[in-house]
Chain A
Amino acid sequence: MTHLTGVDYAVMLLYFVFVLGIGFTLKRSVKTSEDFFLSGRSIPAWVTGLAFLSANLGAQEVIGMGASGAKYGIATSHFYWIGAIPAMVFVGLFMMPFYYGSRARSVPEYLKLRFDEKTRALNAVSFATMTVFSSGISLYAMGKLLNLLLGWSFDVSILIAAGIVLAYIFFGGLTSAIYNEVLQFFLIVLGFAPLVFLGLRAVGGWHGLSAKLAAAAVTNGYAPGAYTRSWAFMGHASQNPVGVEWFGLVMGLGFVLSFGYWCTDFLVVQRAMAANSMTAARRTPLIAAIPKMLFPFLVIFPGMIALVVTSPRAAPAASAVVAPAAVVAEAPAGLVPPKIDAATGQPLHDARGRVVLDYDMATPMLLVNFFPAGLLGLGLTALLASFMSGMAGNVTAFNTVWTYDLYQSYVRPGQDDAHYLRMGRIATVAGIAISIACAYVATRFNNIMDFLQLVFAFVNAPLFATFALGMFWKRTTGHGAFAGLVSGTLAAAIHHGLSLPAGATAGVKGGYFGVVTTYPSELAQTFWTAIFAWVTCFVVTILVSLVTRPRAEAELTGLVYGLTAKPQDTVLRWYERPIVLASVVLALTLVLNLIFF
């Protein structure tokens, strides 16, 4: 187990002081509910841009992308260069004019303005539920990791983290969350950059890393370049460790899932809505895209390095707890320990008898093995920051949707503004309390959490079809949108229930209606489930819209393309214009894809 020294605690404590200080300082600028939920629409673009990125930069990203880096290699970059950047450019250029221009206060409220009450209610309820559960899962993951890595008490870890997030949102509202997200962004970048530097130095740079990963690829039955080239082996699912072919990847991840998340998820869109002008709102995701495209080097590389590097310490830190020495000898996979069966205390084996690795430990293990006291405090604080920013993003989105879209719309309409501001603070407390409860449910019933995440995936998959049709086809009706969403979700559930990833047994992994088809990997199944859901929603929405009565065009001004004045860029030197920024972002992304092709 790793022991922290005084200097590590000092850095961590200093961070907590600043986080809380920002919250208390901003308290006096929160006077109306719009200040609390939308930062009074007063924040400059570079700040909302970094917050846009950081709200999404939860633990799933830092730990999860490191894990995927160890599991899939550089192909994990598809989650960025295909699965994020194009959608971020799209939402900035084409969708933000409607979100920001309609003066909607949330994404569900846009659905109400564009369609009708039932579509908004469906989206608001599913979204609010999803955010508190995600925040709970994030807390759970954090408590478990800190316990495993540092021996900290699960209860104390999650209560302190949740308490700090609660305090700074409760007082400073969205502005406080956004300011802290910017601090967290820099902390994560500056905390992980030296890890990548030291790690790459230890494996002999990119060339050394490629050579070592080539050996690992051959051992696992792939071509030598399978871990270090992102596109070359995407021709067939069996040739790459991701287990997906290019069409499923581009359509499922690059189009349906990515656009569904970045273009419709209020968690990120809320940051852009807080911007101080239409142009700033449009530039928010474009500014976020620039660091986003470089993040693979920061979060994926540590995982790839952890798979092949040996510890520079005489006795590897933490291995005494995570894996007994005998186990390490059995699974020589760098610093990545094997997954331990909770019942027997022995490492788990897959169907082919190979040891299953606990990939989630890849980045944390690299951290504790390569950082000395001092920097270790900074690295762990960065890790904590990622958990907290992910949680704060969910909580601020939750309190807004709850207060505006559910409470003000259905429970107590027509109260004065102070009433809703108070409700926003109560919702913050309640949201965090539910998150903590979820974290404890997850410790007892892991399957329930898997099941819930599956349900959310079904609900989310069709969303982008609804928004795209709503924004760009004026004929789309509320009945069409609602029917499309419901049938798209059902289609996702049915497709998932009829398919199974190779090697899995029927149950939460799919196949519960009988197995009609098998996919080479779980990701392939996820991508194709999303494709089926999207197409179903798209077709059903169009068909139902054609037989139901559309709204008068005059009512749709500001909500639909073609009935809305094109946004004029106010200020701005030529290179600050959204269209120029978008072109630069896309060109750089193309270059990155080519470099690692």
Chain B
Amino acid sequence: MTLDVRMPIGAFFTLVGVILTIYGVVTMRDPGASPTGVPIDLVWGLVLLAFGLVMVALARRARRQA
């Protein structure tokens, strides 16, 4: 197969994670930025970033082994 599916998935979530994390930090003090009181953009942005990086790492490892 020419394309390891983990690569685009990892790249996508890494980028979304970066966007949400930055947006979360910037808007932290805005009223209405977190209706529930949890800074969820920041927290979830970091989760997505970690997930994305793990997927990319797995894809790269598989490519090295092949």
A164 at the interface (CB under 8 A from B): no
Q: B40 contacts A371, CB within 8 Å?
A: yes
Task: Using C-beta atoms within 8 Å of the partner chain, give the interface range for chain A.
Answer: 35 or more
Please give the distance in Å from B36's CB to the nearest CB on chain A: 5
- Decide if B8 touches A47 in the complex (CB within 8 Å): no
> Could you say which of A182-190, A410-418, A475-483 contacts chain B?
A182-190
Main SS of the interface on chain A?
A: helix
Chain A residue contacts of B44, Cβ below 8 A: 194, 375, 378
Cβ-defined contact, A18 with B8, below 8 A: yes
Among A24-32, A259-267, A520-528, A588-596, the one that faces the other chain is: A24-32
Q: How large is the interface on B (under 10, 10 to 19, 20 to 34, 35 or more residues)?
A: 20 to 34
User: Cβ of B40: which chain A residues have Cβ within 8 Å of it?
Assistant: 194, 198, 371-372, 375
Contact A373 B36 (CB under 8 A): no
- Of B9, B13, B20, the residue contacting A375 (CB under 8 A) is B20
- Near B by CB (< 8 A), chain A positions 134-188 give 175, 179, 182-183, 186
Give the nearest-CB partner of A28 in chain B.
Answer: B2
Q: Given A7-B19, A29-B1, A373-B27, are A179 and B41 also a contact pair (CB < 8 Å)?
A: no
Q: Which of B2, B11, B16, B33 contacts A29 (CB 8 A)?
A: B2
A311 to B32, CA, bound (A): 13
Cβ contact within 8 Å between A179 and B3:
yes
Stretch with Cβ within 8 A of B (4 or more), from A9-17, A70-78, A82-90, A250-258: A9-17
A221 at interface by CB-CB < 8 Å: no
In chain B, what residue has the closest Cβ to A29? Answer: B2
Among A10, A179, A190, A372, contact of B13 (Cβ-Cβ < 8 Å): A190
Q: Indicate whether A313 reaches chain B with its CB closer than 8 angstroms.
A: yes
Q: Are B2 and A369 in contact (CB under 8 A)?
A: no
Pick the 8 closest A-B CB pairs, nearest first. Answer: A374-B41, A312-B35, A374-B23, A18-B12, A179-B5, A29-B2, A7-B23, A313-B35
Q: Mark A residues whose CB is within 8 Å of B.
A: 7, 10-11, 14-15, 18, 21-22, 25-26, 28-29, 42-43, 47, 175, 179, 182-183, 186, 190, 194, 198, 201-202, 311-313, 369-375, 378
Known: A21-B8, A183-B5, A194-B44. 16 other contacts (CB 8 A): A7-B20, A15-B12, A22-B3, A26-B3, A179-B3, A179-B5, A183-B12, A186-B51, A190-B47, A201-B36, A312-B37, A370-B35, A370-B36, A371-B35, A375-B40, A378-B20
